[in-house]
Structure 1
């Protein structure tokens, strides 16, 4: 678990440092960093996709995580860039729900040797979380700060979810723990599928991603 603890501590240090800087700095727009950090958890499609990806990676911890997290982070940055250019906008909710369904199904199945699918799902989730993170138009600096917060928040959420699930399985080896987590994954898949069906029937029913 040394790798997981190191990752978690590194992110914790980053967030703690940002908090200290913001608390004593009059830089305009800094409050947007914290708004951005919460944004990946602010709508059902984003939350469900993160929960599904976290369960998928946590149930195979630490295994594919060392490849999946970099794929997620790089794709998230790519999604932010593409979203800023107006590409893929409007597709994020559908894509996140579809990715969440795939991740949750794989997590529930608990089939071994899924490094390539895990990396692909992590990259997909990161890409569309990045697209979904684009704030409303405004001055350049507040937008940049908010986007930085969204990037950090999305990565923190994935790392801590995967680490928490992996730690839970390592600490409690009883069979019912794994079964319970797989049941949770199946419920996430079901909820995401229901939301995706509603979204396809009525696009206005989406969770909304604007800030």
Structure 2
């Protein structure tokens, strides 16, 4: 098994690359048609490592919890998206570092715990779901953006978690061996290492 040094050598370049993303408010274009605005909203979630990596981490944890984990947790996830949408105008720049620290914590739990409970899965879905919306809409006033952008952010936030859960489920179904779950936990540890390094860089200024 490869040691921590190899893990850090792998994660550090990725963290340096990803942490270059601006942690401030997303800048959305104006004058675009509805479809372009929708795509812009989804891109705000899917192309920002500060939202994508925590969502992927949550998706892996939900699949490690149970095969239908994403479906069972989705009502809580959606409720958290709505709550984050309502509260977003009141947050500040702190939400970026907080989100990546949360994502690292989710990935660490996915990597270290052999089993997960329903309460844990729902609580983490609530936290990541709200954080995703808070960060994606940080710096923008209430209903300042167009409806298609808001819809795109909602879809992107759910899709990012579903992508992580789907990748995990395909891996478990196509490789039905005891080590397949171990492989997913190793992947979660990589996500944790990347996010911890990103958090350190962000908090260092």
**TM-score band, normalised by shorter chain:** 0.7 to 0.9
Partner of 2:50: 45
Q: Return closer, same or farther for 1:144/1:195 CA change in 2, 3 Å cut-off.
A: same
**Larger deviation: 113-122 or 140-149?**
140-149
Aligned to 2:65, what secondary structure does the other structure show? coil
Q: Return closer, same or farther for 1:178/1:124 CA change in 2, 3 Å cut-off.
A: same
Counting only pairs closer than 5 Å after superposition, residues 103-142 of structure 1 correspond to structure 2 as 103-134=106-137
Q: Quote the offset at 1:102 in angstroms.
A: 1.6
Counting only pairs closer than 5 Å after superposition, residues 137-156 of structure 1 correspond to structure 2 as 143-156=146-159
Alignment partners' CA distance in 2, 1:29 and 1:136: 22
Alignment partners' CA distance in 2, 1:176 and 1:123: 30
Q: Quick check: 1:169 aligned with 2:183?
A: no
Q: TM-score, normalised by structure 2?
A: 0.75
> Of 182, 186, 190, which aligns to 2:189?
186
Partner of 2:82: 77
Q: Which runs of 4+ in 1 moved over 6 A?
A: none
Q: Kindly provide the CA deviation profile for residues 100-122 of structure 1, in whole angstroms up to 9, marking residues without a partner as x.
A: 11211111124324211211111
Partner of 1:4: none
Structure 2 segments unaligned to the other structure (5+ residues): 1-31
Q: Quote the offset at 1:198 in angstroms.
A: 1.5
Q: Quick check: 1:54 aligned with 2:45?
A: no
Q: Quote the offset at 1:133 in angstroms.
A: 2.0
Q: TM-score, normalised by structure 1?
A: 0.73
Q: Quote the offset at 1:39 in angstroms.
A: 1.5
Structure 1 segments unaligned to the other structure (5+ residues): 1-26, 203-211
Q: Return closer, same or farther for 1:67/1:37 CA change in 2, 3 Å cut-off.
A: same
Aligned residue pairs total 175
